[in-house]
Amino acid sequence: MLHLIDSHCHLDFNDFDADRQTILTNCLQSGIEKIVIPGVTVNSWPKQIELCNSNPMLSLALGCHPMFMEEHPENAAQLLDQAVHQYQPIAIGEIGLDFYVADADMSAQLSLFEAQLDVAVKFALPVILHVRKAHDEVLKLLRQKQLPGGTVHAFSGSAQQAEQYRDLNFLLGIGGALTYPRAQRLQRLFAELPLSQIVLETDAPDMPLCGHQGQRNTPENIPVILQKLSQLRGESSDHIAEITTANCRRLFSI
């Protein structure tokens, strides 16, 4: 059987309240052994913590997402520090910069991002990054911090940026976007990247597979993403599963 990890899945979201246990059972049966659940807002943390404490399949990450700035309290980084000390997550995330939206408050995002990076440095934890239209800014900040590494979730940057992340011990997450025929640049990139830098993810319930637009995504789709990556790279699913899972386990110590 394959041994797989979903490195980025919001299984705590209300979208899964009706059938979460069924999904987890299906995941186990298809070889998905671990699911990393990143935080989005301070208010999301209690449910995440409860879920991860109740099931050894689930791994906890805590952080404040850059797209929800209006929901983060002024002392968010201080609350994160306290929560990390108390609940011992495997990573700080989902954190980062999102300059995709025209009216994004860049300075507020930068301030919160740096404060959360400092928490990661303090506790020597990897980070789970959300980056849109801001790779250069993120890389600049990462170079200033002594981090153990991390993941760049749903990476869609350039080969040069991928190499710069690799130099900082960052893995690149790939999910449903790979299954879209129009995603040729992304497909070429992940066909050529070192397998040692790749991790699989769904970002469920978001980022559905091609042909399932508008539907709920689930971590059960990890094998579909694996199959697509295998086809693109001309490497066996077994080999890709082995390496990407080892990458994830090594980074997150899970």
Binding site, annotated residues: 8, 10, 94, 130, 153, 203
Helix (H) or strand (E) holding 60: strand 58-62
- Residues that constitute the known binding site for a divalent metal cation: 8, 10, 94, 130, 153, 203
Q: Output phi, psi for 240, to 5 deg.
A: -65, -40
Contacts 24+ apart (CB under 8 A), 161-167: 161/135, 161/136, 162/189, 162/193, 162/197, 164/139, 165/139, 165/197, 166/194, 166/197
The answer to whether 204 and 176 are in contact (CB under 8 A) is: no
**CA gap 6, 8 in Å, rounded:** 6
- Cα angle at 73 between 68 and 75, to 5 degrees? 130
